[in-house]
Structure 1
Amino acid sequence: MTEPLRIVSLLFPNVTQLDLTGPAQVFRHLPGTEHHLAWHTLDPVPTDAGFSIVPTTTIQDAPQADVLFVPGGQGAFELFDDAVALDFLRRQAPGARYVTSVCTGSFALGAAGLLDGRRATSHWGSLPLLEGLGAIPVAERVVRDGNVVTGAGVSSGIDFALTLAAEIFGPEVAKGVQLGIEYDPAPPFDAGAPGRPEANPAQVEATRASAAANRGPLVEKAAARLAERRAAAESAG
């Protein structure tokens, strides 16, 4: 019997729910696939949308992932101080076929030391800060560098999941899922990204400034920890 494809998503408080649930809706239609939501406990985890999501497993009991996935949200930055969660990512990554994220989930991967020298993307508001964690920021909706696949902000998660589905199962399977979930975007405004004709330049500037002020120091602290970890590893070696 063929082993199932195991997708393990790291769930955490203050996750942006669509970062997780958008890809999850794609994943559930893929053949022979298990999707595990891992956190410290099995208690409901609050999202940034005012409702909670229930984990299916704990970090300790989660199976080895074929696809390791980290969604984003402010909670991704709070993971910088969660040594257990970061160690979980470090342990899982070597055995995973794909190491992936959506939105600011890439910052958690970076804080775990998994994006060194890798091209990666994130939400446009925080994207430049990703360089501080060793990544090469790329302003594209889905970015692949080797076995690392990252999606940009929030709604990009569906594009990311369909891209991954095509990579693993083939384009026809991915197209069938896209049709089944009626993913046929036709937004009422052309304002969905910086530089689009109807995007508000003042909002773009304010969002980037807020990210730099509020998240920049957290990234600097995480980068310092990474440098200490590398130095310790070199000394031990």
Structure 2
Amino acid sequence: MNHEKIRIGLVLFPRLTQLDLTGPAEVFGRMPGAEIHLLWKTNEPVSSDRGLSILPTTTFMDCPKLDVICVPGGPGQVALMDDEVTLQFLRHIAPGCRLITSVCTGSLVLGAAGLLTGYRATCHWSSIDQLSLLGAEPVHERVVRDRNRMTGAGVTSGIDFALTVVGDLWGDEVAQEVQLQMEYDPEPPYQSGSPRTAPSALVNSSREKMASFIDRRRIATERAAERLAKQSAA
């Protein structure tokens, strides 16, 4: 059976959370007709926040027209919010895409590029409120679809997100086959993967540990929001 070619671009950047990218890449790689591009400014290896190096396959300059663009998250997302080369690439490639997507705090990068204004979206639970600064409507769900924008929540939700994309492009049966191939049948040993289910003391202590970093992320988001406001006024 011949399958339509689907070009998918996943953005790399220093200090990304690798599972935000590799989880969806594993799902997409099993999809019929998938052509996956790992995108960055150069072809040099990119180091994740936990030290795993990932090799880009395509530069921004050489990137072909895409059907799906996906931006992962991670600590390096803060610097990416001020990276005009990356933001301009996203603005340039997005109009030709069938789906404009993200995982975790990658949605804040989409927002900084002006691509989530007026859209419902999700993000990692620690920073989901920052989406509103960028003109998006925060939604506390694992995967959120609003027209041709699709966003996944924190880290592990990237697999749920990617299966949803496969279902959107090829139908439920293909997506279910991919899920079965991967034996994606999560049964976590603890019910602490979300603020909705984790003990409140654990949620509070986790917030305290992340507070200084979340403040730095908010400052970057506020700068991006100011730039968007100036562009709208121009």
Of 183, 201, 204 in structure 2, the residue corresponding to residue 202 of structure 1 is 204
Within a 5 Å distance, the mapping from 1:1-150 to structure 2 comes to 3-150=4-151
- Structure 2, unaligned runs of 5 or more: none
> Shift of residue 51 of structure 1?
1.4
CA distance in structure 1 between the aligned counterparts of 2:112 and 2:176, rounded to whole angstroms: 34
1:107-139 deviation line (CA, Å, top 9, x unaligned): 110000000010000000010011111110001
Aligned length: 232
- The runs of at least 4 aligned residues of structure 1 exceeding 4 Å deviation read none
- Structure 1, unaligned runs of 5 or more: 233-237
Counterpart of 1:215 in 2: which secondary structure?
A: helix
| CA RMSD after TM alignment | 1.5
The aligned residue for residue 228 of structure 2 is 226
CA distance in structure 2 between the aligned counterparts of 1:196 and 1:147, rounded to whole angstroms: 30
> Shift of residue 185 of structure 1?
0.3
Specify the code of the residue in structure 2 equivalent to 1:195: R
> Shift of residue 83 of structure 1?
0.9
Please tell me whether residue 185 in structure 1 is matched to residue 186 in structure 2: yes
Q: Is the 8 A contact 1:125 1:204 kept in 2?
A: no
Q: Is the 8 A contact 2:78 2:216 kept in 1?
A: no
Specify the code of the residue in structure 1 equivalent to 2:208: A
CA distance in structure 1 between the aligned counterparts of 2:79 and 2:51, rounded to whole angstroms: 18
Note closer, same or farther for the CA distance 1:49–1:10 as it changes in structure 2 (3 Å cut).
Answer: same
Q: Is the 8 A contact 2:3 2:32 kept in 1?
A: no
Specify the code of the residue in structure 1 equivalent to 2:48: T
Note closer, same or farther for the CA distance 1:207–1:107 as it changes in structure 2 (3 Å cut).
Answer: farther
CA distance in structure 1 between the aligned counterparts of 2:45 and 2:206, rounded to whole angstroms: 34
Counterpart of 2:144 in 1: which secondary structure?
A: strand
CA distance in structure 2 between the aligned counterparts of 1:41 and 1:90, rounded to whole angstroms: 19
Please tell me whether residue 164 in structure 1 is matched to residue 165 in structure 2: yes
1:78-98 deviation line (CA, Å, top 9, x unaligned): 112211110000011111000
Of 215, 218, 226 in structure 1, the residue corresponding to residue 217 of structure 2 is 215
The aligned residue for residue 235 of structure 1 is none
Identical columns (%): 55
> Shift of residue 210 of structure 1?
3.8
> Shift of residue 198 of structure 1?
4.0
Specify the code of the residue in structure 1 equivalent to 2:33: G
Specify the code of the residue in structure 1 equivalent to 2:50: A
Q: Is the 8 A contact 1:44 1:52 kept in 2?
A: yes
CA distance in structure 2 between the aligned counterparts of 1:77 and 1:189, rounded to whole angstroms: 30
Specify the code of the residue in structure 1 equivalent to 2:228: L
The aligned residue for residue 152 of structure 2 is 151
TM-score, scaled relative to structure 1: 0.94
Specify the code of the residue in structure 2 equivalent to 1:160: F
Q: Is the 8 A contact 1:189 1:198 kept in 2?
A: no
Specify the code of the residue in structure 1 equivalent to 2:41: H
CA distance in structure 1 between the aligned counterparts of 2:84 and 2:144, rounded to whole angstroms: 27
